[in-house]
Amino acid sequence: MARRIKWRSVHDHFSYEVAELAKVTGVCRSTVRNWIRDGLPVITDQRPHLIVGEEFKRWYGQRIKARKRPCRPGEMYCFKCSHPRAPALGMADYIPRNKTGGSLTALCNVCERPMFRACQLHRIGQTMPGVRVSIRKRGDDIKS
């Protein structure tokens, strides 16, 4: 899983050199150079080249959006596979967090690692059609 990038600490009206943007977002300079290669807009009419904070945020926000892989009904996101997967054996557990919401947990049908998906209790049927979901009591241990 990718490290969390502190892109919200970038100021809209500041311009950053590569090293400055790297420091603010908590990444290596080489990562910023890779972003530039991947299309991050840069002002290049003079040295040092500058990245406008607002442009960076717009570019990075679009990049996040484009990379999201939403789960369809019956799928949960497997962080090991980096892909939405169906629960192994068509079975999942629901662990309530409060009266209305909680999380589903199941094993990935490909790598057999645990997967999780937030879910509202009344939507289990729509979220996980065809999956046998066992409702646990709050505070039950999660067996792996």
For position 80 contacting Zn ion by CB under 5 A, the verdict is: yes
Residue of the chain from 91, 110, 135, 142 that contacts Zn ion (CB under 5 A): 110
Told to check if 108 binds Zn ion by CB under 5 A, we report yes
Q: Which residues contact 139 (CB under 8 A, 6 or more apart)?
A: none
> In this chain, which stretch among 6-14, 41-49, 74-82, 121-129 interacts with Zn ion, using CB under 5 A?
74-82
- CA 93 from centre of chain: 22
Pick between residue 36 and residue 81 the one whose CB is nearest to Zn ion. 81
**Residue 86 in the binding site for Zn ion (CB under 5 A):** no
Q: What is the CA radius of gyration of the chain?
A: 21
- The C-alpha atoms of residue 43 and residue 2 are separated, in whole angstroms, by 27
Find the shortest distance in angstroms from Cβ 88 to Zn ion. 9
For residue 23, which amino acid is it? K
Would you state the torsion angle of the CA atoms of residues 72, 105, 124, 131, taken in this order, to the nearest 10 degrees?
Answer: 70
111 binds Zn ion (CB under 5 A): yes
40 binds Zn ion (CB under 5 A): no
Q: What are the residues binding Zn ion (CB under 5 A)?
A: 78, 80-81, 108, 110-111
